[in-house]
Amino acid sequence: MSTVFNFTFVPWFRSVAPYIHKFRNQTFVVGVPGEAIAAGKLPNLVQDLALIQSMGVRIVLVHGFRPQVNEQLRAKGHEARYHRGIRITDSVALDSAQEAAGQLRYEIEAAFSMGLPNTPMAGATVRVISGNFITARPVGIVDGIDFQHSGLVRKVDAVGIVRALDMGALVLLSPFGFSPTGEAFNLSMEEVATSVAVALQADKLIFVTEIPGIRVRPFDPPGDDNPIDTELPLADAERILAEGPQPAQPTDPGFYLQYCVRACKGGVERSHIIPFAVDGSLLLEVYVHDGIGTMVVDEKLESLREANADDVGGILQLIEPFEKDGTLVKRSRTEIERDIANYTIIEHDGVIFGCAALYPYPEARTGEMASLTVSPQAQGQGDGEKLLKRIEQRARLMGLESIFVLTTRTMHWFLKRGFQPVPPDWLPEARKRKYNWDRRSQVLVKRLG
């Protein structure tokens, strides 16, 4: 095994660890459209779901079957009809849906049963449980159109699903529901997944979709200046739905977004839209800082705040690599615990991704900004600027006229932000006595207006 592999793998695995701990025993509802299965993505999706479950996540998988039903209808010489994005299910379409659902459930259960050596499924034991967990009602007549056997979720047997999850099983749901009289209704995958997530008060609802997510300007063409918005507050998501046309196709920006909004308003903490075209998108979304698609949240998950005693471990983990390579001066746990009130942190979803400390020297009307650190996963997103501005704000509130830094490697970053070089003799007497002449750090000062 190469040294390069070791050097990259170990930091990566350590960076994933906080998410593994955080998501253990949480419940994820994952909606996979039939288009993903038709595109041949099922084997890799199953492997990723099995891996996530092995790390303690409780999973409910809801599959769709839109293209499979349409293929059945074409074989029967029957036209597929939709209105407002909902299938009009006549008796022929209902038969086709039942056939497609049976075939897909067979394929999915078979995929979870694979355990070939030298594959991600080797040694995996994934028990799949399905059942009549959904009670449905008819859509009825809308805009003068009779939807016939198309239905909406009336009730979710949350107790039954939780019992299956408690047994360690993965729960697999098809988009079908039954009335108390035994009548079958064709439902949409999106409707079932959202209703189940709300009923379970799931921690995440994840749609693995045809689209890469919601762009910063949702109705403009994609481009470098119009990237995916990785974190979308609920209020902004509702605004996008209000401004855009009524979604009718899965590729419309508002199609999956409307269900994410409904889930968040129903108590689901986070809803995600991620692309099935990217291999490993589930893993990238769940275990990487910014993910790969769009996450809809009721409130922003990133916070800039002053640190407290509970943050000492996270700060140590963040700065340790930079201390080892000499970028930062090493600070002990005891020192950080003693000075924790001096620290400001950037926290995202419970994980610390940036920190900086302010050590005031009131007699000289200045203060030292120390340990300015941003995780490699979050660099280039402006977190360093945010920390600098907060440190400047704290310094002004203390009545300080300037802040200074000592650096050996990041001089240009500070120069671009208004710092000026000064000789070490400029330092306050108390700090000058601790100056390491062997390290020969550059002293940079910024005057505060």
CA distance 220 to 226: 8
Model confidence pLDDT, tens digit, residues 93-134? 999 999 999 999 999 999 998 865 666 666 677 899 999 999
Q: Give the CATH number of the domain where residue 76 resides.
A: 3.40.1160.10
The backbone torsions φ and ψ at residue 82, rounded to the nearest 5 degrees and listed phi first, read: -135, 155
Same domain, 275 and 177: yes
pLDDT for 349: 73
CA distance 296 to 236: 9
Same domain, 161 and 33: yes
pLDDT for 24: 93
Same domain, 184 and 287: yes
Same domain, 232 and 136: yes
Could you tell me if residue 95 is left (phi over 0), alpha (psi between -120 and 50 degrees) or otherwise beta?
A: alpha
Bridge-based pairing of strands 151-156 and 184-186 is: unpaired
pLDDT for 120: 67
Same domain, 284 and 324: no
Q: How many CA atoms lie within 13 A of 19 on its CB side?
A: 17
Model confidence pLDDT, tens digit, residues 4-36? 667 778 878 877 888 898 899 999 999 999 999
pLDDT for 84: 84
> What's this model's pTM, rounded to 2 decimal places?
0.74
Q: Give the CATH number of the domain where residue 401 resides.
A: 3.40.630.30
Highest mean pLDDT among 78-87, 165-174, 434-443: 165-174
DSSP of 261-329:
HHHHHTT-SEEEEEETTSTTHHHHHHHSSS-SSEEEESS-SEEEEE--GGGHHHHHHHHHHHHHTTSS-
The pLDDT of residue 243 is above 60? yes
Q: Quote the percentage of the chain above a pLDDT of 70.
A: 96
CA distance 222 to 235: 23
pLDDT for 115: 66
pLDDT for 4: 61
pLDDT for 342: 96
Token digits of residue 110: 């078979």
Mean pLDDT value across residues 239-252: 91
pLDDT for 116: 56
Q: In which band, very low, low, confident or very high, does the pLDDT at 195 lie, cut at 50, 70 and 90?
A: very high
Same domain, 276 and 339: no
Burial of 399 (0-12, 13-18, 19+ CB in 10 A): exposed
Highest mean pLDDT among 116-130, 158-172, 340-354: 158-172
Q: What is the mean pLDDT of the chain?
A: 91
Same domain, 38 and 58: yes
Mean pLDDT value across residues 362-389: 89
pLDDT for 423: 94
Same domain, 20 and 150: yes
Give, in order, the Cα–Cα distances in Å from 42 to each of 179, 183, 201, 208, 405. Answer: 30, 30, 26, 11, 53
Q: Look up residue 217 and give its amino acid.
A: R
Cα torsion through 428, 326, 338, 389, rounded to 10 = 70
Same domain, 200 and 322: no
Task: Between 119 and 352, name the one with better pLDDT.
Answer: 352
Model confidence pLDDT, tens digit, residues 272-329? 999 999 999 999 999 987 789 999 998 666 688 999 999 999 999 999 888 888 788 8
Q: In which band, very low, low, confident or very high, does the pLDDT at 376 lie, cut at 50, 70 and 90?
A: confident
CA distance 83 to 386: 47
pLDDT for 121: 66
Residue ending a domain, among 299, 324, 339, is 299
Segment among 159-163, 201-205, 238-242, 437-441 with least mean pLDDT: 437-441
62 in Cβ contact with 175 (< 8 Å): yes
Same domain, 342 and 218: no
pLDDT for 56: 94
Q: Which residue has the tokens 């196709």?
A: 249
pLDDT for 14: 79
Q: Quote the percentage of the chain above a pLDDT of 90.
A: 73
pLDDT for 13: 82
Judged by DSSP in three states, 416 sits in coil
Same domain, 111 and 204: yes
Mean pLDDT value across residues 257-261: 97
Task: Pick the closest to residue 196 from 249, 167, 250, 159 (CA basis).
Answer: 159
Residue ending a domain, among 254, 281, 299, is 299
Which residue range(s) make up the domain with 403? 303-447
CA distance 302 to 231: 10
Same domain, 64 and 149: yes
pLDDT for 275: 97
Residue ending a domain, among 248, 281, 299, is 299
Structural domains in the chain (count): 2
DSSP of 80-146:
--EETTEE-B-HHHHHHHHHHHHHHHHHHHHHHH---TTSTTTT----EE----EEEEE--EETTEE
The pLDDT of residue 67 is above 80? yes
Mean pLDDT value across residues 351-374: 94
Q: In which band, very low, low, confident or very high, does the pLDDT at 136 lie, cut at 50, 70 and 90?
A: very high
